[in-house]
Structure 1
Amino acid sequence: MIFRVSGGVLSYVLAISLLVSVVLSMLTLYVYYARMEHSHYLTRIRLQKNLASGIQMTLGEYDHFAYDQAYHYDLYGEEQDSINILRRAWGLLDLYRVTAYKGDLEVSRIYTLAHRPAPQGRSAVFLVDDGRPLSLVGDTRLIGDCFLPVSGVQSAYINRVGYTNDSLIYGQELKSEKKLPEVALKEAFTKIEKLAGGEAEPDEDTLTNSFGADLVQVKAGNVGVNKVYSGHVLITSNTRLVFDTLARTTDIVAYAPVIEFLNGFHGSGQFFATDTIIIHNNVKLTYPTVLATYNRDDLATIQTRGKCEIAGWILMDGSKDGFRRRVIYLEDGTQFHGMIYCNGMLETYGTVEGHVTVKRFLVNSQTGVYENYLFNATIDGTKLDTAFLALPQWFYKKEGKVLKYLN
């Protein structure tokens, strides 16, 4: 028996065969790309784990890495888990870039590193033992452990005003030493002086530069700073840097003989002056901010004028002689949260929530100048929260912590 098939049926068969072939091809491609995407996903997960391992290496062995030298590691010796580590100085902070890579895939993080404070850094005061006691006057409060001279602490009078509280120290009295711990502030200033980057000005009102990019330098001259600067930016002047009310800064470094923050300025960064830093009323400098002066011959001052808020670190150092030419002055209404290092004279009428390391305290009054006196000052070492980190300068633990992840 002979079956005859219409020619139209053959067309249907061919069409269905083509459709099935397309569907099978699509399924094959889907499976292929799904497997490829899953493989990339597993690779990215592995890169993230390797990145975390690299970060932990920097935290545990931070002093193993020399500055500006790239380190390459194969984590497990299988040529599958490679990382790069680069350490750079950024002001007083250590800046790390860790990159994990495999083939053309890579992930990286950039961050600043600091430390947990040592027990001394958790105290209220470390006052150098110069053979004279610490005298307290008025409504002065020292809260927390205090490292003091052998001669101890006593109540006293200024302008017929005596000490008004019921305890001299609200904490344990411990013995200090005859010298301040040394800080590498001179070396830090030298490094900052050598920093140089491509000169730039913001096209509009903002300049944001990633820490993954080359340094950008803004030479302000005598012109006030009134724009928004963020990231890997160095702002310098040969004379005076004045940060206007309209200006905002984040994570930058600034360097000049004189730095001044006008009424209402808000920002963060590291600010280095060879002469003077002035903080006016209603200024808010957020954590992590560094204010530092280093004088070689001339006077050096850091002073607040009015109600302001500062969170971070204040450091003052200089040549071995002439510590009386270096003065930190915190006016009544100043709220400081952090750690202070003063190889000079500290005159404070504000509130310090944190730690003070100081050569001498100072009070200026109508009846005279009094050294190692505190008058209506509050220093509360118990208010330094557990998340606060210390600079790798003084009174820090030998264990690194991520201070801030950067873009």
Structure 2
Amino acid sequence: MRWLILITIFLLVETYAFQAVKTLSKNQIVQIIYVVISLGILAYVIYTFANYDRSVGPTKYSLRASGLLLLTLVPKMILVLFMFGEDIIRVCVAGYNYLTNTFFDGNVAQYMPDRRKFISQIALGAAAIPFAGLLHGIFKGKYNFKVIRHVLHFDDLPSAFDGFRIAQISDIHSGSFDDPAKIEYAVDLINEQESDVLLFTGDIVNTMAKEMDDWIDTFKRIKNPKYGKYSVLGNHDYGEYVTWDSEAEKAANFQAIKDIHTKIDFNLLLNDSAFIEKDGERIAVIGVENWGHNFKKAGDLTKASEKVSKDDFKVLLSHDPSHWEHEVKKHDDHFHLTLSGHTHGFQFGIEIPGFMRWSPVQYVYKQWAGMYNETGRYLNVNRGFGFHAFPGRVGIWPEITIIELRKGKETA
């Protein structure tokens, strides 16, 4: 039934798209080439997903298939909006023609006006915009790494940490990578920031620990800042989106994923905390396991904070930003800064600084990208280092976050 619905939608969209092609070109060879390409893509997508192996999980082949599906379907859906709108007008005109011709003349020759060529041209022009965007996102956008900087002011920040620089990365999803040179470039970009501490907020793989085998040496090149590297797990790190032959096999994969963090010199915090000390003062780094409002709730904030006093300055690592919305921001213990990821900003949206920011993910997550502040409690949602499901990024670029902590109030 699921495939029947998908195929029905695809054929409906293709019917309208083919009408646009026919209106613009009467050349049968052009029309045949269009049909062959469209059916070929549909066959490839159906074959790939019909043979999806739930014991393996996402692969480069399934990523490629989803990319092709979106690359062809999204622009054509834009095209359908124009063509369907014209059809509504044509039906209304046909009804008017029928009633007036029948009533006055009895001339029932032709009621439905022809499809207008310029509408098809406008529709194809509009469809070309998302097509170009998706194409750029697949080949360029997914590795268009950006360094996003924030300066945050706190009255109760220990004086020794005035000017302290935190680097954050999130959602590596190593199983999706297909360009070693681009990942090497991103690692160099992280190193160039010369931060005081590096914090990673989960999802190191898509599912399997072996996805990182070819990338251990690359990520091990990330310099160890003066005050270390800390990390937490994300929802994908628990191996819960594939079928396992046994619980023992699943547990072994989970342990191997945790071991990856040690191999690349990160201190993995599993509902635990650590202190960073500087000039006789300290701040706490607290790491919870994944806690998502709609995902796995393995995080235990109480357990993670056992070593921390209420007066300590706290930086919390929690993969899913819904944790901040539903538990952290109103917690009796004041968590000054929470770092999350998870959403990827949907890998699709529009961001024009100071003017506009939109993504479909905002209808699911209240906090989905960037810095948020409520009553002096901050949350940063990193847009992610890697990509997943769709092999690209459109308008929402991969992010390395640099946060500078300052003591005192922000000055105008």
The one of the two structures with greater contact order (alpha-carbon pairs below 8 A, sep at least 6) is: 2
Higher helix share: 2
What is the TM-score normalised by the length of structure 1?
Answer: 0.23
Structure with the higher fraction of residues in strand conformation: 1
Q: TM-score, normalised by structure 2?
A: 0.23
Rg larger in 1 or in 2?
1
